[in-house]
Structure 1
């Protein structure tokens, strides 16, 4: 099953920019997932197992280094790039 994830990372420390950049760059190296950056969040696309495996691995690394990090994750069970979603 294809999924789309919108993820934001908030390291609760003064030097917060580099950990975010490091996380995104690590996610970009993950196999079988597609990453799109923007100024508010990062979008991850791919097969459910591939996306969740990549996120699990990288989120665990971050939380081991900076336990005071908040992740906000939204997940939809379709390839949002190709989804035709109409407003209510």
Structure 2
């Protein structure tokens, strides 16, 4: 089963917020089997359900452990919506 996850990360009160966001994205891009697409508003992760959810949640936890305050807005959508997104 596949999943599509849309994530927006908002580090609060951080001077280096872009660095924190890109570090999060690069870690997800390093996972074999995941497709990670970014734009100015969010990051989309596509792949096997268990693989994607496991790694996204590990990275969310790491951000919360290393950044004083951060907000995540996430959408979890069943199926691979990467082709649908590309057609829009």
- In structure 1, what is the equivalent of residue 55 of structure 2? 54
Alignment of 1:3-82 (within 5 A): 3-12=3-12, 13-82=14-83
- Could you say what the CA RMSD is over the residues aligned between the two structures, in angstroms? 1.5
Q: Which has the higher helix share?
A: 2
Structure 1 gap ranges (5+)? 84-88
Runs of 4+ in 1 over 2 A off after TM superposition: none
Distance 1:29 1:48 in 2: 17
Which has the larger Rg?
A: 1
Structure 2 gap ranges (5+)? none
Aligned residues: 84
Q: TM-score, normalized by length of structure 2?
A: 0.88
Q: TM-score, normalized by length of structure 1?
A: 0.88
The superposition leaves residues 17-51 of structure 1 with CA deviations (integer Å, 9 ceiling, x where unpaired) of: 10001000011001211100111100000011010
